[in-house]
Amino acid sequence: MRKGTPVRRRTSAAPAIDPKAMDSIALTDFLRLTVQQLEEAILCAMEAGSWQAVASLKLRSVEARRLLDDEVAKASSPDESMSDEQLLSIIVQAVASMPPQHLERIEDAVELRRGGKVVRLAGGGS
């Protein structure tokens, strides 16, 4: 980049985080926004030729992404502190993502629990 050439600023696609809303925003949402903003800042620093800033921002981005991955994993794995509704939500999400043969096994288990007989004549097993 030549001296005296103005740096073109990107318009941010990631919304700014309102400090007043910090108490109500979920940690995972905050970390997602942080990662987006860091990635945009990396691009701006690259355009400006500020390689020290690029290196520093990339390191911060990796750290934020690692924290985000940890929080997402924590939110989707059950523990003793979760309410029944939170546990049920995890189960529903897991069932919704299952292939058909696994759904049949779950349907069979539910039917057995309800006292019905389960008879599968063909196909359907894993």
Question: What's the pLDDT at 91?
Answer: 84
Query: What burial class does residue 119 get, using C-beta atoms within 10 Å of its C-beta: 0-12 exposed, 13-18 middle, 19+ buried?
Result: exposed
Looking at residues 79-91, what average pLDDT do you find?
Answer: 81
Does residue 1 sit within a domain?
Answer: no
Looking at residues 57-82, what average pLDDT do you find?
Answer: 86
Question: What's the pLDDT at 86?
Answer: 81
Identify the residue with better confidence: 80 or 98: 98
Which residues make Cβ contacts (< 8 Å) with residue 14, sequence separation at least 6? 33, 36, 37, 40
Does residue 96 sit within a domain?
Answer: yes
pTM, entire model: 0.51
**Confidence at 1, pLDDT banded by 50, 70, 90:** very low
Query: What percent of the chain shows pLDDT beyond 70?
Result: 73
Does 32 have pLDDT greater than 90? yes
Which of 27-36, 76-85, 116-125 is predicted with the least confidence, judged by mean pLDDT?
Answer: 116-125
Range of 44's domain?
8-77
Q: Are residues 35 and 95 in the same domain?
A: no
Q: What's the structural domain count of the chain?
A: 2
